[in-house]
Amino acid sequence: MTNKRKHPRVKVRVVASFDCYNEDGELFNQKMGVILDISLGGMLIETDDIIQANYIEIVFVNHERKLMSVVGSIVHSRKCENGKAKTGICFHGADSENVKIATNLIRTHYFGNKKPALQQSKTTDIPT
């Protein structure tokens, strides 16, 4: 089987929220889940149940603790053997915007698994 994907996928693990919109652009559901992989064209997410929406907005906190979001269409949403659902998303944004999102997700995955080093505090003796 040959890989027909346009862009390579990078595995990540980032918690995100998902706002689901119908064909009229009305918000009708919100979910939490995990982004499992990212490419310049889309991403794969995991949620507790399948997503039946026309459009989805994915919101996550990046490595700088800033909110980021991206909008896409549902390509597929299927239940897996583990009981979770995996959903493929195709991005709507411009290539430059998709690069920004992908870069931030990869950095968030990498830096999110690192704990900042504790700073040592300096103490100064006060003469008596």
The dihedrals phi and psi of 106, each to the nearest 5 degrees, come to -65, -45
Nearest CA-CA partner of 76 in 63, 62, 90, 95: 90
Which pair of tokens denotes residue 48? 């507790």
Helices (H), 69-118: 95-112
Write down the pLDDT at residue 123. Answer: 46
Kindly report, residue by residue over 74-128, the tens digit of the pLDDT: 999 999 989 999 999 999 878 888 888 888 888 988 887 554 444 444 444 555 5
Contacts of 92 (CB under 8 A, 6+ apart): 55, 71, 72, 73
Residues 102 and 11: their CA atoms lie apart, in Å, by: 11
Kindly report, residue by residue over 28-75, the tens digit of the pLDDT: 999 999 999 998 889 999 999 999 898 999 999 998 899 999 999 999
Using only C-alpha atoms, the chain has a radius of gyration, in whole angstroms, of 19
The dihedrals phi and psi of 76, each to the nearest 5 degrees, come to -155, 155
Write down the pLDDT at residue 122. Answer: 46
Beta strand pairing call for 55-61 and 67-79: antiparallel
